[in-house]
Amino acid sequence: MIVLHHSPQTRSMRSLWLLREIGVDCEVVERPFDRSLRSPEYLAINPIGRVPALEIDGRVIWESGAITEYLCERFPASGLGRAPGDPERAEWLIWIHFAETLTQHGAALTQQHLILHEESMRSPILMKLEPKRLGKCYAAIEKRLEGREHLLDGGFSAADISVGQALYITRRFAKLEPFERVAAWYGRITARKAFRASLPTAGSALLYEKDFYGPPDG
């Protein structure tokens, strides 16, 4: 049995979406995104106290990029990976890991808008600067999508999942609409049944309660 430890609206959604695309049976253990991730019980599964953690083949894998690579190699028939020697392997790896660049900017803004409750602890400069950095990332994706339906010429892959899931978070801080190709691509991939199956379910504890968090005034 494959077990995914997952918190809605976090990086673990990346792994859940991928599992849904592969179509493999798995158990999803939904965990609140709070201090319970630092409990001895969970630290015995993931020693850094974060999600995702994937129990598979008698081991535990953590770090979403590692999980993506492992699952694509473990289930090659899914067509979501690009094996060593494949002409698209390098580009596949670039976009798989570029997702973390996006996510780090999103994490910085999440901290500023949601985690730091005291206004005096927040940085107005950072809250204005990070969305601009996201805009530069969106521009790179926009350029990549010129003449393409997906990030790779060979079609939909885990690269689209990884970057798409990152945008699911970052679009709450920097809008996609100024980037027409990015917005259209995001619309296509999030219309997929597997994406919808990875969304928070009724009753799930949500990290983001608003669709958009703008920079401070002034």
The model's pLDDT over 166-179, given as tens digits with 9 standing for 90+, comes to: 999 999 999 999 99
At residue 138, what are phi and psi to the nearest 5 degrees? -60, -35
Q: Give residue-wise pLDDT tens across range 195-212.
A: 999 999 998 989 999 999
> What are the tokens at 192?
């997929």
Once rounded to an integer, what is the mean pLDDT over residues 34-51?
95
For 167, other C-beta atoms within 10 Å of its C-beta total 26
SS3 assignment, position 55 = strand
What pLDDT band is residue 117 in, cutting at 50, 70 and 90?
confident
- Give me the torsion for CA of 128, 199, 74, 25, rounded to 10°: 160
For the entire predicted model, the pTM comes to: 0.96
Which residue bears the tokens 């976009």?
Answer: 95
Query: Please, what is the angle between helix 89-110 and helix 64-74, to 10°?
Result: 150
Q: Give the per-residue pLDDT at 45.
A: 96
Yes or no: say if 144 and 133 are a contact pair by the CB < 8 Å rule.
Answer: no
Residue among 168, 162, 166 nearest 196 (CA): 168
3-state helix, strand, coil in the chain (%, to 5): 50, 10, 40
* Helical pair 89-110 and 124-144, crossing angle rounded to 10 deg: 160
What is the pLDDT of the chain when averaged over all its residues?
Answer: 96
> CA-CA distance, 203 to 122, in Å (whole number)?
30
Please tell me the predicted confidence (pLDDT) of residue 116.
86
Q: What is the DSSP letter of 149?
A: S
Would the pLDDT of 26 be above 80? yes
Res 99: pLDDT: 98
SS3 of residue 61 by DSSP: strand
| Side-chain-side CA neighbours of residue 212 (13 Å) | 9
**Mean pLDDT in residue range 138-162:** 98
Indicate if the pLDDT at residue 218 is higher than 70: no
Q: Give the percent of the chain with pLDDT over 90.
A: 91
